[in-house]
């Protein structure tokens, strides 16, 4: 028997209170141990779907009006963030949202509440090993770090919670190409060395496709194309419309 996917969205419709139908009949699944990328341009509905998955839709008067969202076998379509995080899904939000006045080390501590001192130490070592840059910046105030370093802290903080699924919202946004390379190399290590399950939301289609196992493309609230990443990379429509070759 094939194990059910860790995250599964079925026929979701999401409406905001101004009656905007932001997501229409979307189905998507993230199997355990895989990297799944959700791509699409501004306004396609990616963030809305991510809010549905992480329990924050209600903060913006959005509602899952049809369909379902399951995580680790549990129906979370109307659940709140605390419960979802408790089940093991952690979001690295767009714009990173660090505690800007706290040091790198303190931000990491915030990601791991309820852990013992020994556990905390082990997890911090794991993060420093993944992001050697942060070891050098450990006692610096996060607000003064570069954009790339802040993104590393945001990912590191999420890892402190030992997630079963890490959701990344546009990790390359606003970063220079070399920094994006380094962030993506680390995402690659997380999947290889930690067998981490990753749900990656990106506008940067070419980067995401290099690392993903499976890719969904969203437009106007719908999935317009999906498939294994290696097939998508050679698909002419994908190349023309999303990768900028033609
Ligand atoms: P971006 O990359 O810019 O974040 P996106 O693909 O994530 O784009 P969404 O932010 O999910 O797209 O937006 C999808 C649609 O829902 C858009 O038409 C947007 O105007 C609408 N929308 C998003 N947030 C809200 C909100 N809080 N209230 C009402 N409508 C919203």
Least confident of 119-128, 199-208, 233-242: 233-242
Residue with CA closest to ligand 1 atom 23? 48
Q: Cα(52)–Cα(62) distance, rounded to whole angstroms?
A: 8
Q: Say yes or no to pLDDT of 245 above 90.
A: no
Atom 16 in ligand 1: residue holding the nearest Cα: 22
User: Is the model's pLDDT at 246 over the cut of 60?
Assistant: no
pLDDT for the residue numbered 36: 97
pLDDT recorded at residue 163: 94
| Model confidence, pTM | 0.92
The bridge status of strand 62-71 relative to strand 197-202 is unpaired
- pLDDT category of residue 156 using cuts at 50, 70 and 90: very high
- ipTM reported for the complex, 2 dp: 0.95
pLDDT tens-digit readout, 4-13: 899 999 999 9
pLDDT for the residue numbered 6: 96
70 Cα distance to chain centroid: 16
Sign of the alpha-carbon dihedral angle for 243, 244, 245, 246: positive
CA angle 216, 221, 223 (to 5 degrees): 25
Report how far residue 177's alpha carbon sits from residue 193's, in angstroms, rounded to the nearest whole number. 24
Nearest to 159 by CA among 117, 204, 189: 189
CA distance 175 to 84: 29
> pLDDT value at position 29?
97
Q: Ligand 1: residues within 6 Å at CB?
A: 16, 18, 20, 22, 40, 42-48, 60, 203
Average pLDDT over residues 118-147: 94
pLDDT higher than threshold 90 for residue 48:
yes
Compute the average pLDDT of residues 57-86: 92
The mean of the pLDDT values for the chain is: 91
Question: What are residue 145's phi and psi, to 5 degrees?
Answer: -75, 165
**In the chain, beta strands by DSSP E:** 7-16, 21-30, 35-39, 62-71, 74-75, 89-92, 165-169, 197-202, 214-219, 222-228
Coil vs helix vs strand at 131: coil
- Cα–ligand 1 centroid distance for 238 (angstroms): 23
78: part of which helix (H) or strand (E)? Answer: none
Q: Which of 9, 12, 14, 44 has the most ligand 1 atoms within 8 A of CB, as the residue to mutate? A: 44
pLDDT in tens, 182-232: 999 999 999 888 889 999 999 888 899 999 999 999 999 999 999 999 999
Mutate to test the pocket of ligand 1, among 18, 45, 167 (most ligand atoms within 8 A of CB): 45
C-alpha of residue 136 to centroid of ligand 1, in Å: 38
Nearest CA to ligand 1 atom 9: 45
15 in Cβ contact with 29 (< 8 Å): no
């Amino acid at each position: 028997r094939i194990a059910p996917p860790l995250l599964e969205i079925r026929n979701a419709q999401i409406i905001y209170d101004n009656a905007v139908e932001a997501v229409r009949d979307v189905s998507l699944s993230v199997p355990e141990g895989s990297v799944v990328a959700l791509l699409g341009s501004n306004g396609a509905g990616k963030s809305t779907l991510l809010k549905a998955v992480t329990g924050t839709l209600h903060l913006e008067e959005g509602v899952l009006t049809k369909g379902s969202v399951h995580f680790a076998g549990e129906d979370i379509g109307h659940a709140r963030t605390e419960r979802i995080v408790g089940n093991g899904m952690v979001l690295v939000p767009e714009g990173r949202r660090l505690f800007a006045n706290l040091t790198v080390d303190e931000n990491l501590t915030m990601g791991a509440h309820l852990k013992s001192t020994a556990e905390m130490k082990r997890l911090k070592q794991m993060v420093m090993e993944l992001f050697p840059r942060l070891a050098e910046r450990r006692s610096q105030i996060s607000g003064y770090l570069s954009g790339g370093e802040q993104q590393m802290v945001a990912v590191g903080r999420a890892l402190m919670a030992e997630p079963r699924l890490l959701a990344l919202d546009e990790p390359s946004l606003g970063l220079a190409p070399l920094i994006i390379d380094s962030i993506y190399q680390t995402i690659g290590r997380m999947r290889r060395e930690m067998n981490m399950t990753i749900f990656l939301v990106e506008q940067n289609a070419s980067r995401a496709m290099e690392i993903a196992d499976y890719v969904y493309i969203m437009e106007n609230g719908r999935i317009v194309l999906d498939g294994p990443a290696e097939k998508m990379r050679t698909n002419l429509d994908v190349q023309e419309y999303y990768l900028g070759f033609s």
